[in-house]
Amino acid sequence: MEWRDLSVLITGGTGSFGNRFVKTLMEKYKPRRLIVFSRDELKQMEMRIKINDNGSTVMRYFIGDVRDKERLYRAFKGVDIVVHAAALKQVPTAEYNPLEVIKTNVMGMANVIDAAIDCKVKKVIALSTDKAANPVNLYGATKLCADKLCAAAGVYGREKSTIFSVVRYGNVMGSRGSVIPFFRQQAEKGFIPITDPRMTRFWITLDQAVEFVIKCISMMRGGEIFVPKLPSMKIMDLAEAIAPSAEIDIVGIRPGEKLHETLLTEDEARRTVEYKDLYIVNPSTSNIKNENSSHLAGKPVPEGFCYSSNENNWWLTVEQMRKLINEPQGQDHFFLRTAIA
């Protein structure tokens, strides 16, 4: 792909992922135009100052909400690629405000799809989450719905040359609202609350997440779900990496919380192929009847395969995690180096 010829828009562009995505594209890929679409004017102003594009004509900032279809039509005019990162993603917030989360995560996805097709956007890639696989909370259920909408969009979007795909990954180190800054804050009080000592999680750095999405944009054919191969870590090891001297307070698992994360279910495995650094869930034939949309070069995963954090064969040690959280993002850590970038 020649990024210099492309106009790129990211929804939710002032979030943790959006900030790093914009920085990476500006420094390494240099698109013709880069549009940040988000609701918060203060965060956009802060982003302008931080990026300091020196009056460049590349950057654009659109105030808007994915709930507002008319605003999306205006923003998507002349856009080649849309990265859909906007979402309400706090699990407790979703449980208490279910309809609001549905409006943003589900109806917002539907609005993005309609606007992208009608504005003749070439590619739309949506960011998903491990919580969309066998969801047990409302947030996960809304993201599963969004993933299904994205896959179904390939049926009618393909006729107008717009293709849709999904990227699904686990916990992002350093992202807003993640457990690492929460544990650090609690460690200052001398204790860390653990819901269940058996808990495991997948981990990915912010830089890896950005590079993986960029790679998938080049690879996407429409209707597939991209899943990176990631390391797992035990929640007790994470607590030790952050605050080895802090006391552990076992508080019990919360409603909507899983003991272990799943990135690929057994049902999805029937359509999944494996590559060196990722899995690709091909679209079902009922969604897209086009052989060119399937990634056939990969190796089919075994029958009954399930990619879960507790059955992973790649684990982070306490020392490795400590290096990751104490050193700047962008460090080339040998134990996380993959073909993603």
Rounded Cα distance, 185 and 291, in Å: 51
Rounded Cα distance, 246 and 30, in Å: 45
Pairing of strands 272-274, 278-281: antiparallel
136 Cβ contact partners less than 8 Å away, ≥ 6 residues apart: 256, 257, 258
Q: Tokens representing 23?
A: 């920085």
Pairing of strands 232-234, 200-205: antiparallel
- Quick one: 49 exposed, middle or buried, by C-beta within 10 A (0-12, 13-18, 19+)? exposed
238 Cβ contact partners less than 8 Å away, ≥ 6 residues apart: 179, 180, 183, 201, 321
Rounded Cα distance, 181 and 190, in Å: 15
Residue tagged active-site, from 131, 229, 234, 258: 131
131 catalytic per annotation: yes
Q: Catalytic amino acids?
A: 131
